[in-house]
Structures are given as C-alpha cells and as structure tokens.
C-alpha cells in the first residue's frame, strides 16, 4: 500500500495571513497620520507662541512708555512743589529736626557716660577700704621693685662703662708703648756746620715729601704736605706725611727738579727715608738727584714707624 498525503480541507492559513497583513497596514497608516498631525500641531504651537511673545513684548513696551511719561510728569510736579515757599520751610524744619535729634543723641550719650562714672564711683565708695588699701600697697611695692631694678641696671651700666674706660686706658698705654718702639729720632740740618747737611726727603704712599722748602734762599717747614707735631719735651717734632699730598714722580717731575736745583750743592745732600710702599718712587727720585749733581743717602723705614726730627737725631750718610 502507498502512503497517503495529508491535504488541508480548508484555507484557514490564508485567511490568517490576509488579516495580519491588513492589520499591519492599518497600524502603519495610523502611525504616519499621527506623525503628520504632530508636525502640523507643533508648527501651529510655535506660531501661536511667537505671536503671544510678540504681543506680550508690545504690551511691555507700551507699559514702559506709559511709566516713563508718568515719571516725567511726577518729576515736573516734584520740582514745582520743591520750588514752592512751603517746601523750603519744610526743608528748613527737617534740618532743624535732624540737628535737634543729633543734640538729643549727644545728650543721651553724655548722660549714659555720667551714669557709668557715677556707678563706678558708687562701686568704689561701696568697696571695702581694706581692699583698696591692699591694692594701693601692691602698686607701691611694684613701683619700688621697678625702681630697684632700674637702679641695679644703672649700676651695671656704670660698672661696665668704668671697665671699658680702664680697658681703653690700657690699650692707649699699650699703643703708646708700641708707637715709641717704632719711632726713630733724626737730626735736623744745621746751617752752621762745616760738613754737608742732610736735606731730608720722605718717600711714602709712592710720593715724595720734601721736609723743607727753599724760599729766597731760606729753609722753612713743608706744612702743605706734612703734619708737624711738637713733642711734649720740646726736643724735636713728629712728622707724618699726608696721604695724597706729596709730589708724584711722574706728573710733578718739573717741580721736583726745581726743588733739587734750589738745594745748595756744596753744603747739602739728599737724605731719603723710604717706606716699603715707595721703593719704585725712590728709584726714580734717585735718578733725578744724580742728574742734579747732588749726593744722596737713604734708609728704609717700616710702615708703623713714625719719624721724629730733632737736634739729637741721626741722618743717613751720603753714599
């Protein structure tokens, strides 16, 4: 036997397919209609909102114009009112009111201050006299303590000052001793001696300092470039060169040559006292002395040494 084929007796599937397609089409059409109607409604709403905003803006502008006109009218009215005599009287009364109010406030503050003072005085009167006495005694003791501390401080300052003065005196004594150790006594030239006299020159700060100057054949101390200080015992003078006041061997060459030419060649020779900072200047000066036909002698000096010239001193002999 052959197998039998299944055959549907009706077209139910076809009906269902037709209904489904129709329902889907209806839904799609409804969606399209809804979209179209929503777009139209939105455009209508936007147009309505724009018209409403325009109308509201126009009303605001009209109201603002009205307010401006009312304000201008009110300003004119106020100006007219202020210019009236009654208004001036009112302004004067207002000023008087403010002034009287300020006076009342000041008086009130003064009364409050007086009341506070009165309360303070009353409190002091009501206070126990023994408490007041103890407070006064405490203040007195504090003042005494401060006075004692100040006296002690002044005493300490005085003691320190005395100690410093003593130390200063000791240092001055030590300095004087140290200076005396670096002092050399030299002899001033004597015009009456038959041998040649020393015409003294000091070379310091790389400059030349003639001890004497020759004016019209007479010798006089060179006070323009040297400090002269008489000794306490009257036995000579202390001579110190003034820095920068001497003669420069390069720029003052003509002046130096003129001084050397005024020195009596037969009676004097050039005696030089050369400090350690001026050997170069001495070499140049020595050449000028030789060119002038003068004899010369020299001695080195140290920077701490002070030169004292007197009758009992010595001079470097001519070479």
Provide the pLDDT for residue 19: 76
Distance in angstroms between the alpha carbons of the first and the last residue of the chain:
173
Measured CA to CA, the distance from residue 22 to residue 13 in angstroms comes to: 14
Provide the pLDDT for residue 10: 53
| DSSP, res 263 | S
Provide the pLDDT for residue 3: 43
**Size of the chain, expressed as the number of residues it contains:** 319
Provide the pLDDT for residue 194: 46
Provide the pLDDT for residue 183: 63
Strand duo 183-187 + 306-310: pairing = parallel
Q: Specify whether the backbone of 217 is left (phi greater than 0), alpha (psi in -120 to 50) or beta.
A: left
The pTM of the full predicted model, rounded to 2 decimals, is 0.40
Provide the pLDDT for residue 124: 59
Per-run averaged pLDDT (10 residues), the chain, 319 residues: 46 73 81 76 70 79 82 75 62 78 82 72 63 82 87 86 84 76 56 66 90 76 86 80 87 88 83 88 88 86 79 69
Q: Specify whether the backbone of 307 is left (phi greater than 0), alpha (psi in -120 to 50) or beta.
A: beta
Angle at 224 between CA 222 and CA 227, to 5 degrees: 75
Could you tell me if 209 and 225 are in contact, meaning their C-beta atoms sit under 8 angstroms apart?
yes
């Amino acid at each position: 036997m052959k197998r039998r084929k299944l055959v549907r007796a009706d077209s139910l599937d076809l009906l269902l397919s037709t209904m489904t397609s129709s329902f889907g089409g209806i839904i799609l059409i409804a969606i399209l209609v809804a979209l179209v109607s929503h777009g139209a409604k939105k455009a209508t709403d936007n147009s309505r909102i724009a018209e409403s905003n325009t109308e509201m803006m126009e009303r605001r502008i009209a109201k603002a114009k009205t307010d401006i006109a009312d304000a201008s009218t009110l300003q004119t009215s106020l100006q007219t009112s202020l210019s009236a005599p009654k208004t001036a009287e009112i302004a004067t009364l207002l000023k008087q009111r403010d002034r009287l109010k300020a006076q009342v406030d000041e008086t009130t503050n003064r009364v409050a201050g007086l009341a506070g003072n009165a309360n303070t005085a009353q409190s002091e009167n009501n206070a126990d006299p023994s408490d007041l006495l103890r407070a006064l005694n405490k203040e007195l003791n504090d003042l005494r303590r401060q006075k004692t501390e100040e006296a002690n401080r002044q005493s300490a300052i005085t003691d320190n000052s005395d100690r410093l003065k003593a130390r200063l005196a000791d240092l001055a004594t030590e300095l004087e001793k140290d200076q005396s150790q670096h002092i050399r006594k030299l002899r001033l030239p004597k015009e009456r001696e038959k041998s040649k006299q020393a015409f003294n020159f000091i070379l310091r700060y790389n400059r030349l300092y003639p001890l004497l100057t020759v004016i019209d054949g007479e010798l006089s101390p060179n006070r323009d470039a040297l400090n002269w200080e008489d000794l306490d015992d009257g036995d000579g003078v202390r001579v110190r060169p003034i820095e920068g006041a001497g003669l420069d061997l390069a720029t003052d060459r003509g002046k130096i040559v003129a001084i050397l030419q005024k020195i009596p060649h037969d009676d004097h020779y050039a005696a030089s006292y050369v400090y350690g900072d001026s050997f170069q200047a001495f070499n140049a000066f020595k050449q000028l002395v030789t060119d002038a036909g003068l004899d010369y002698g020299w001695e080195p000096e140290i920077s701490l040494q002070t030169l004292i010239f007197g009758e009992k001193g010595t001079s470097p002999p001519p070479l």
